[in-house]
A and B are shown apart, each in its own frame.
Chain A
Amino acid sequence: MATKLRARTHRRISPTSESRLVQWILIGIAFVFMAIILLMPLYAVFHEALAKGLNTFFAALVEKDAQAAIRLTLLVAAIAVPLNVVFGLAASWAIAKFEFKGKAFLITLIDLPFSVSPVISGLVYVLLFGAGSFLGPFLKSYGIEVLFALPGIVLATIFVTFPFVARELIPLMQDQGTGDEEAALSLGANGWQTFWRVTLPNIKWGLLYGVLLCNARAMGEFGAVAVVSGKIRGQTTTMPLQVEMLYNEYNATAAFALASLLALLALVTLVLKSALEWRYGDEIAASGK
């Protein structure tokens, strides 16, 4: 017994830590994996986009259909993201601050878009608003086109991106509880004042993360939008759809030029997030995020 104990005394690293070698191997695997899966494709996109020089690159971006695709993508995001912010706030408020029947079911529903293939989400809207459905012809008689038009694209995008804000806020709001709100009310604040001055500042960082992720996904969504858009060039093609169409037409440079714009958006999102974390690190830590 005594000898067994003595044999261990030479180990000087903490019991929860691994040896140097194991540490380096794990870190190495992580980096190599990142390089192959993330960095190489990113490099390939920019390389291919700039292969025929900057002039061709910019020409591809200012082309009429490309411009239409960029405008449509921005418009869809500008509608879908604010709506999802409102929905996400309402849902996480309800889930975190009230007790009601069907709460667990609501949480499951919020996760549904994550677990359903985007193509299925698109098809659901085709079934709902298509020519053979009840709603489609009804709305059409009032002159409202949903399928193969902006409303359909927006609906599909909202469906696919709605968990992002809610998922970010629910744990944060549950963690914070209702103490601050009760304090504000006891000090005489009304509901709006409590929301704007106490609740919203408490969750602003979580909300911002949610919005950034939601926005990135809204602009990049392909599957669901592809099904409902009808891919009418210059009218219902978003950036990801346009990229695919250009690529299928063997116009690689134009396809990658547009793709690089999307990739740039992802990079900007990432940089923005890191910059915020760096600049407001203390405050984010203090807000319990």
Chain B
Amino acid sequence: MEVRVANVRKEFDRFPALHDVSLDIRSGELIALLGPSGSGKTTLLRLIAGLEMPTAGKIFFGDTDASEKTVQERNIGFVFQHYALFRHMTILENVSFGLKVRPRSSRPPAGEIRRRAMELLDLVQLSGLEKRYPNQLSGGQRQRVALARALAIEPAVLLLDEPFGALDAQVRRELRKWLREIHDRTGHTTVFVTHDQEEALELSDRLCVMSQGKIEQVGTPDTVYDHPSSPFVFGFIGESSELPVTVENNELWIGGRAIGVPAGDTPTGQSRLFFRPHDVDLVEGDAALAGVVTTSRRVGGTRRVELEIGGDGHRVEIDLPFDHPAGEKSRIAFRPRRWTLFPA
């Protein structure tokens, strides 16, 4: 099912949470809404679900206008960050709930409901636990029950609100892979909210980066990572370093020195240079970015050093091999391999 969000605005008590947001979600894709807290990503998800109503704008499911429909009528599957499992029901009763509350005319017979619920428990690899209560399961197991429960009603769209937010790192990684597998097998159009860029990059077909109630960029993980459209996206997705530079003679200058980086078609004047700390070459010679090491930390397989560039205190981070001899106060010259310029 395609979902089209058209010029949606949402205010809470006159405080705007979303400004004029439009987003086309393709049928069958797995899309991530990514942003820092307060960016409006959860609000957008809840608007699609019908748990909130937009102040202005419309939301379409396929060709039908869903804006005026209640959450029940929209037939969505929603997975909450804190599971929201019904604690007084067994796992099986939880998964069957959506089918049991249907009106008599569309409710499958009891045997059929049970069979479907057991099938779903099998899909989420929890067979044998159907008689347990939610508080007898681990966090990861609970979230899988929540997903099975949402899938039971055969939703038009599957919506997940920080589904792995309450789990520890190890379980998060496992569930991430597993959710991707489930998605590929069932083919539901899936929207999930996360503030974890690694999760979004690894899991999604496309991601929608949000900030302060606006969409900054929508694209595949590769596009967003390699060609960020704004300084915010560059800073938010992956590691980044930033320096103010001057463009002159189609070259970049810092503190009166050319650094050996061509400016392309960026007009002459002030500009901001962005690059990834791991995407640099160490060089010998003059035409390079040179700095003095202020701190040096070992991070897993690499060494991250902070350099002070020029005399006015600008600092950037770059990654070196972990056995690089650079100590404090030593001088390092480098050139970014890939970079992006944004207007100052």
B116 part of interface (Cβ distance < 8 Å): no
Closest to B70 in A: A185
Q: How many A-B residue pairs have CB under 8 A?
A: 69
B294 part of interface (Cβ distance < 8 Å): no
Whether A286 lies near B86 (C-beta < 8 A) is no
A73 part of interface (Cβ distance < 8 Å): no
Contacts of B86 on A, CB cut-off 8 Å? Answer: 180, 183-184, 197-198, 201-202
Whether A179 lies near B87 (C-beta < 8 A) is no
Whether B101 lies near A189 (C-beta < 8 A) is yes
Contacts of A288 on B, CB cut-off 8 Å? Answer: 87
Whether A187 lies near B84 (C-beta < 8 A) is no
Whether B98 lies near A188 (C-beta < 8 A) is yes
B309 part of interface (Cβ distance < 8 Å): no
Whether B101 lies near A182 (C-beta < 8 A) is no
Whether A286 lies near B72 (C-beta < 8 A) is no
- Contact string, B142-158, partner A, CB cutoff 8 A, digits 1/0? 00001001101100000
Given A188-B75, A198-B86, also A286-B133 (CB < 8 A): yes
Q: Considering the complex, which residues of chain B in the window 77-124 have a beta carbon less than 8 Å from any beta carbon of chain A?
A: 77-78, 80, 82, 84-88, 97-98, 101-102
Question: Which one of B72, B80, B102 lies within 8 Å of A183 (CB-CB)?
Answer: B80
A186 part of interface (Cβ distance < 8 Å): yes
Whether B101 lies near A186 (C-beta < 8 A) is no
Contacts of A286 on B, CB cut-off 8 Å? Answer: 87-88, 133, 135
Whether B102 lies near A188 (C-beta < 8 A) is yes
Cross-chain pairs A/B with CB under 8 angstroms, 7 sampled:
A180-B84, A183-B85, A183-B146, A187-B97, A188-B101, A189-B72, A286-B135
A283 part of interface (Cβ distance < 8 Å): yes
Bound-state Cα–Cα, A154 to B336, Å: 83
Whether B98 lies near A202 (C-beta < 8 A) is no
The contact size tier of chain B is 20 to 34
Whether A186 lies near B77 (C-beta < 8 A) is yes
Q: How far is the CB of B162 from chain A (nearest CB, A)?
A: 13
A193 part of interface (Cβ distance < 8 Å): yes
Whether B98 lies near A187 (C-beta < 8 A) is yes
Bound-state Cα–Cα, A201 to B90, Å: 13
Q: How far is the CB of B72 from chain A (nearest CB, A)?
A: 5
Q: Considering the complex, which residues of chain A in the window 274-289 have a beta carbon less than 8 Å from any beta carbon of chain B?
A: 283, 286-288
Whether B88 lies near A188 (C-beta < 8 A) is no
A16 part of interface (Cβ distance < 8 Å): no
Count chain B CB atoms within 10 A of each CB in A183, A190, A202 and give the residue with the most.
Answer: A183
Contacts of A187 on B, CB cut-off 8 Å? Answer: 97-98, 101, 149-150, 152-153
Count chain B CB atoms within 10 A of each CB in A182, A190, A288 and give the residue with the most.
Answer: A182
Bound-state Cα–Cα, A202 to B135, Å: 14
B32 part of interface (Cβ distance < 8 Å): no
Question: What 9 A-B pairs come out closest when comparing CB atoms?
Answer: A187-B98, A179-B84, A186-B78, A183-B84, A189-B101, A201-B88, A286-B135, A193-B101, A188-B72
Closest to A185 in B: B71
Contacts of A180 on B, CB cut-off 8 Å? Answer: 84, 86-87
Given A179-B82, A287-B87, also A184-B97 (CB < 8 A): yes
Whether B51 lies near A182 (C-beta < 8 A) is yes
Bound-state Cα–Cα, A286 to B71, Å: 28
- Contact string, A166-188, partner B, CB cutoff 8 A, digits 1/0? 00000000000001101111111
Contacts of B82 on A, CB cut-off 8 Å? Answer: 179
Whether A186 lies near B76 (C-beta < 8 A) is yes
Whether A202 lies near B101 (C-beta < 8 A) is no
Q: A186-B51, A188-B102 are in contact. List 12 more A-B contacts (CB 8 A).
A: A179-B82, A182-B51, A186-B49, A186-B71, A186-B77, A187-B98, A187-B153, A188-B98, A188-B101, A197-B86, A202-B87, A283-B88
Bound-state Cα–Cα, A179 to B97, Å: 15
Q: How far is the CB of B110 from chain A (nearest CB, A)?
A: 16
Contacts of A201 on B, CB cut-off 8 Å? Answer: 86, 88
Contacts of B102 on A, CB cut-off 8 Å? Answer: 188
Bound-state Cα–Cα, A186 to B78, Å: 6
Closest to A181 in B: B84
Question: Which one of A179, A197, A287 lies within 8 Å of B101 (CB-CB)?
Answer: A197
